[in-house]
Amino acid sequence: MRVAFHTPLKPIDHPIPSGDRAMARELVALLRDLDCQVWLAARYRPGIAVLPPSSTQLEQQRRGRNRARRIVARWRSLPFHHPERFELWVTYHLYYKKPDWVGPLVAQSLGIPYVVIEASHAPKRRFTSWRVGHRAVELALRQADLVLTLNPNDEACVRPLLRAPSRQQPLPPFLDTAPYVAARDGRETHRARLGAEFALDLTTPWLLSVAMMRKGDKLSSFRLLAAALSQIANLQWQLIVVGDGECRSEVETLLAPLRERVRFLGALPPQALPAIYAAADLYVWPAINEAYGMTLLEAQASGLAVIAGRTGGVPAIVRDGASGVLVPVGDAVALAAALARLLTSPQELARLRAGASVYVAARHTRMAVGRRLRLLLRSVMSGLRNSPSLP
């Protein structure tokens, strides 16, 4: 199967770490594992941070339509079996600030299925300055032959726009677990190396947080993390923070009262992260307004129990009481209590660590999700709408 894959929200090959980009790359890798030929459709320039006028959105729409016409013209000029003569269009992540101006027009012009993976729809945007982009998302969803939902919280607002309820199907977030499993097997080696490199006490529990340091929800999560940790200063622990960004100084200020307990490792390449996860004892992240959180999956695949805020799609990827502990989002007292409980209950922590590995292996691996995706794509290509559900 030849597939055009489009990421209008964020360029898939941008070097800045992002869970959204990580998931997009995983999807491309999975499609190729399923013997699909994947052509990466053209992407747009990064959008503006401030609310744009409708005229700006209309200009983006005009450019998108022109790009779609060029893609269609090139497609029709290619030999039948050319890799870029795709049979299916897949758009990853529809969002009102970055709608898909290209895919619906291309798919309609060529008479091929249009598939969306991850879409959010916020009716409250209908009468705001983002109304043009909001309307574009609505139109794309109405045209979609299949919408695969990664975050269960998106289902309710998306479903009414579809031509039939069966066009919406769940697809669990997933990752290639092999690097994390391998790192988990070498845990003691990784722990000894990191302990020597960053002057960490090997006998004290290591907490880990991995996140970009930017304004908004990420900074709010760091603020809540600092507040929770300040409440358990009487316990033994050390915090490792991986990440960087425009708010690095603010994050350092928030955690400064914890002094020598905190180690900042900065931004690290993806291949360095499995060893960090494996060496730690417990992953903690407040997850304010988190869609679902790829780092939560990475941590569990590495054998780390997770403490996180119960928000968005987080409950769909962290099994509360089996692979981690979920607390009311935004509640520093509850977060501190959960940390204290696991730090003072080694047996409970060991049980959750073992459960994390088992949970991810059963539901969130490329192989597990690949079986479902293959069936769903075969279904849409054959024109069938009733696809099997996950067990």
Tens-place pLDDT, residues 202-254: 999 999 999 999 999 999 999 999 999 999 999 999 999 999 999 999 999 99
pLDDT tens for each residue of 69-121? 999 999 999 998 898 899 999 999 998 888 999 999 999 999 999 999 999 88
pLDDT tens for each residue of 33-69? 999 999 998 654 444 444 566 778 888 889 999 999 9
pLDDT at 42: 67
Confidence of residue 128 (pLDDT cuts 50, 70, 90): confident
Tell whether 166 and 251 lie within a shared domain: no
- Identify the H or E element spanning 356: helix 346-363
Percent of the chain with pLDDT over 70: 95
Tell whether 224 and 370 lie within a shared domain: no
Tell whether 153 and 215 lie within a shared domain: no
* Domain of residue 87, residue span: 2-174+365-382
Residue 255: give its domain's CATH number.
3.40.50.2000
Tell whether 67 and 187 lie within a shared domain: no
- Identify the H or E element spanning 225: helix 217-230
Nearest to 295 by CA among 198, 171, 175: 175
Give the number of domains in the chain.
Answer: 2
Task: Classify residue 388: in a domain, yes or no.
Answer: no
Tell whether 99 and 233 lie within a shared domain: no
Tell whether 169 and 256 lie within a shared domain: no
Tell whether 113 and 187 lie within a shared domain: no
Task: Classify residue 154: in a domain, yes or no.
Answer: yes
Tell whether 202 and 344 lie within a shared domain: yes
**d(Cα 207, Cα 343) in Å, to the nearest integer?**
10
Burial class of 15 by CB neighbour count within 10 A (0 to 12, 13 to 18, 19+) = exposed
pLDDT at 323: 97
Task: Classify residue 389: in a domain, yes or no.
Answer: no
Tell whether 168 and 151 lie within a shared domain: yes
Task: Classify residue 210: in a domain, yes or no.
Answer: yes
Q: Mean pLDDT score of the chain, rounded to an integer?
A: 92
Q: Alpha-carbon dihedral of residues 201, 324, 285, 8, nearest 10 degrees?
A: 130
User: Looking at residues 285-294, what average pLDDT do you find?
Assistant: 93
pLDDT at 10 over 60: yes
Task: Classify residue 387: in a domain, yes or no.
Answer: no
Side-chain-side CA neighbours of 316 within 13 Å: the count stands at 21
Tell whether 154 and 201 lie within a shared domain: no
Tell whether 374 and 351 lie within a shared domain: no
- Identify the H or E element spanning 119: strand 114-119
User: Looking at residues 248-267, what average pLDDT do you find?
Assistant: 96
The reported pTM is: 0.89
